Chain A
Amino acid sequence: MNISMTLNPENLLSFSPLHRLQWEEAQQKTVILYPEGMVELNQSSAEILKLCDGSRQLAQLVQELETKFETTGLTDDITAFLEVALKNGWITQN
């Protein structure tokens, strides 16, 4: 596992194999599950994490979301969230 705490834009982003990302019908929310814990995600965070599947770097991920939501200027927000995700161990980069 890469434990570097800063986001490297060159690296591919993957969701952590030690966590599970799952849609919860009862809560109508996507959640992250890990040993004895759960984090509820809002819709945009969930969309970002779903794209962390080991096939994209930061720029590709941003671009894909900007296209999907027909908007621009998402880089800063997405970067900030991914940094939090990295620090919490939700994603890894390799």
Chain B
Amino acid sequence: MAGLLKTNTPPRWLLAELTYSCPLQCPYCSNPLDYTAYKNELSTDDWKRVLTQARKMGAVQLGFSGGEPLTRPDLVELVQYARELGYYSNLITSGYGLTEEKIIQLKTAGLDHIQVSIQASSQELNDHIAGTASFEHKQNVARLVKKHGYPMVLCVVLHRENIHQMPEILEMAEALGADYLELANTQYYGWAHINRDLLLPTKEQFETAEAIAQAFKEKVAGKMKIYYVVPDFYEDRPKACMNGWATTFLTIAPDGMALPCHSARELPNFDCPNVKDFSVSEIWNDSKAFNFFRGFEWMQEPCRSCDEKEKDFGGCRCQAYLLTGDASATDPVCSKSPQHGVIDELITSARTSALSDDEKPLVFRNSKNSRR
């Protein structure tokens, strides 16, 4: 029995989704479609308790995200508390509403780094994708982040509407003096799942963009680090999602729900525990949800007897559920999956949409669409 051999590794990475509110409306947002249904945000004290408990277990990387974390009035207080506990804290922001004064305040409170997301390399496209005029401001924020001595991380989420801008995106990052550039191909959960036909680039687009990014990576070696998050629909093996279920990552949603991965809320009947009811260590070690896909016992064939299962853990549980209806199935990205055909279908469907004259419009992430 795996249960007897199993020793849980402690969480190392804590993602604190402080709020679902956000002034932007990105159509690939990973927040749940029904985010407006979760109203009771954790209090400042709840967050402090969670930070303390997770730190004691060994969590050291901390991401403040959302939604837009800047909309929480207690952000500076939480940053300071996290610093006292010894976390390395990352602010994951759209930059919207970030002033120089706030940047200084956060620095004094002990924030280690700010990751600013930019939607595209041109104002028009950025503002269209974000659903809000924000391009100029974001550029300015990026400069201020740098000016105040933070490592500057730019993040650009890639999809069919901006992937052709790869050369300009790279130039922009260089001009802004980014220390790190995260080129994150859209992962198709949450809002991106329903917008997939409009967001998924063609294979040729992927390959061209990736080749350009790789060449650039060599050019800027030693100056800028580039993280390229691969899209796995065009691979024949799935990604080792979350480094294995509940081995490393812990996400706490705005209402206190603890998730082994930030999309796990989408799994049906999953019943994730809430930090209002349990301690972080009870959740991590004893809850059904966190133990569900730990180890290899839960696997079906072909994963169960596959010699690659320790490499990719059978892929992503949320992707398996979204695309096959069964969260325990082999991730259909894997060419060994009996349901691998659904990947070809969705690629074809996106391609057809790309070539058609009257594409349906993107569904933007906002409260009106969330309540539909």
Contacts and interface: CB of A to CB of B under 8 A. Distances in A.
A7 to B, nearest CB: 13
Nearest to A33: B88
Interface size range on B against A: 20 to 34
Contact of B58 (A5, A20, A26): A26
Given A24-B58, A35-B180, A89 B222 contact: yes
Give the 9 A-B CB pairs with smallest separation, nearest first: A26-B58, A33-B88, A18-B151, A35-B113, A35-B153, A3-B222, A35-B151, A5-B222, A35-B180
A27 interface: yes
Given A17-B149, A35-B180, A38-B12, A26 B223 contact: no
B60 interface: yes
Nearest to B182: A36
B183 to A, nearest CB: 14
Interface of A: 3, 5, 17-18, 20, 22, 24, 26-27, 31, 33-38, 87, 89
Interface string B214-228: 000000001101000
Contacts of A89: 222, 225
Contact of B86 (A17, A22, A35, A38): A22
Contacts of A27: 58
B61 interface: yes
A53 B113 CA distance: 21
B90 interface: yes
Contact of A35 (B56, B115, B149): B115
Nearest to B180: A35
Contact of A26 (B10, B88, B225): B10
Given A3-B222, A89-B222, A36 B112 contact: no
Contacts of B63: 36
Contacts of A5: 222
Contacts of A20: 88, 112
A16 B18 CA distance: 30
Contacts of A17: 149
A3 B220 CA distance: 11
A22 B184 CA distance: 29
B57 interface: yes
Interface in B176-225: 179-180, 222-223, 225
B10 to A, nearest CB: 6
Given A17-B149, A24-B60, A27-B58, A35 B90 contact: yes
Contact of B61 (A18, A26, A36): A36
A33 B151 contact: no
Contacts of B225: 89
A24 B180 CA distance: 25
User: Which of A5, A17, A35, A87: most chain B Cβ within 10 A?
Assistant: A35
User: Which of B10, B12, B86, B88: most chain A Cβ within 10 A?
Assistant: B88
A53 B60 CA distance: 23
A33 B10 contact: no
A87 B221 CA distance: 9
A34 B151 contact: yes
A26 B10 CA distance: 9
A32 B293 CA distance: 30
A78 to B, nearest CB: 21
A34 B149 CA distance: 13
Given A18-B179, A34-B151, 6 more contacts: A22-B60, A26-B58, A35-B115, A35-B179, A36-B115, A38-B88
23 contacts: A17-B149, A18-B151, A18-B179, A22-B60, A24-B58, A24-B60, A26-B56, A26-B57, A26-B58, A26-B60, A31-B60, A33-B88, A33-B112, A34-B113, A35-B112, A35-B113, A35-B115, A35-B153, A35-B180, A36-B63, A36-B90, A36-B153, A89-B225
B128 to A, nearest CB: 28
